[in-house]
Copies of this chain bind each other. A is one copy, B any other.
Amino acid sequence: MIVIMERRATEDEIQNVVARVEELGFRAHLSRGEERTIIGIIGDERPLSVEALEVLDGVERVVPVLHPFKLASRDFKPDKTIITVGDVKIGGDEIVVMAGPCAVESREQIFETAWAVKEAGAKILRGGAFKPRTSPYTFQGLGVPALELLGEVSETVGLPVVSEVMAASDIEAVSKHVDILQIGARNMQNYSLLQEVGKTTKPVLLKRGMSSTIHEWLMSAEYILSNRNYNVILCERGIRTFETATRFTLDINAVAVARQLTHLPIIVDPSHATGKANLVAAAAKAAVAAGADGLIIEVHPNPDRALSDGAQSIRPESFQKLMVELRQLAAAVGRCM
């Protein structure tokens, strides 16, 4: 860390910061400029919080030098992590598409969708059993029966399954039937839950919080990694901005930024990132062109009857057409699909 002292900081205040730095087990390195004195801190700063020094008298600002994440960083592991789920490899040359309905609604619906997305080339089936809904008065998911259906459809159709876990108490049940545990955007900083999924051996799909910085997102991954679950897939799903024409703003820059910072696979959710079925294709293509390792797309056989997220779900026919276009794009950027 670097401590920038106030213009009017006294010699006593400077020495006090130095003393505190040394007391905390670091070495201090002074640089006296014309207008400000700067104190560099030598040592691994990660366990140190900016605030611990910001609070001292005479300090104007404290600037971290290192990224606060370690296990998630490229510094720690330069090579890309490839996560294997059944026969599928996420993070390699192949762009992996996960698809399926927002929520499991019935045996018929999930089977029909599973067969359709598999035929179109999806490699993983998505489907919610527990749904985080803004309103307590709307459909909250079928719960355990949905998990059982997912397990069954997965085996029959031959697609691994990803589904959201909303509470620590559900991890066991979800793990029993599902291949990838999803942490939703609203739970990205539910640290209790992150620690619990970090103790499992299942791959975790970690959605970015709608107002979380890329650094915070990687810190949430770090919670999982530091509990010894190293299989984290990052998912950009749109951030909240002032623009209201779309439900969220797809932060397409985040794909390339995260790629530089971390070795973990990065996928994109064009359905939530737009909120509108007729924008999903453009967002999905942009994600592939920007270097995403995969996509997670909401597909519903009958969006106008969907119990949740119908407006952003595309039909199987549209999905099939999109997959053809994505395959051409993937080839154009040197990836396969």
Residues of A within 8 A of B (CB): 2, 4, 7, 20, 29, 31, 33-36, 38, 40-44, 46-47, 49-52, 54-56, 63, 65-66, 68, 70, 75, 132-138, 166-170, 186-187, 189-193, 195, 209-211, 213-216, 219, 222-223, 226-227, 239-246, 249-257, 260, 273-274, 277-279, 282-283, 285-291, 303-304, 306, 308-313, 325, 328-329, 331-333
Contact B55 A311 (CB under 8 A): yes
Contact A63 B66 (CB under 8 A): no
Contacts of A287 in B (CB 8 A): 286
Contact A244 B243 (CB under 8 A): no
Assembly stoichiometry (copies): 4
C-alpha gap A274/B251 in the complex (Å): 11
Min CB distance, A133 to chain B, in Å?
7
Min CB distance, A36 to chain B, in Å?
5
Contact A52 B310 (CB under 8 A): yes
C-alpha gap A239/B29 in the complex (Å): 36
Contact A329 B333 (CB under 8 A): yes
C-alpha gap A47/B56 in the complex (Å): 30
Contacts of A222 in B (CB 8 A): 135-136
**Closest B residue by C-beta to A8:** B75
Given A192-B167, A290-B285, A304-B56, A216:B253 Cβ within 8 A: no
Contacts of A75 in B (CB 8 A): 7, 35
Min CB distance, A304 to chain B, in Å?
5
Given A34-B42, A191-B166, A286-B286, A211:B214 Cβ within 8 A: no
Given A42-B33, A329-B333, A279:B257 Cβ within 8 A: yes
Contact A282 B277 (CB under 8 A): no
Contacts of A304 in B (CB 8 A): 20, 52, 55-56
Contacts of A186 in B (CB 8 A): 189-191
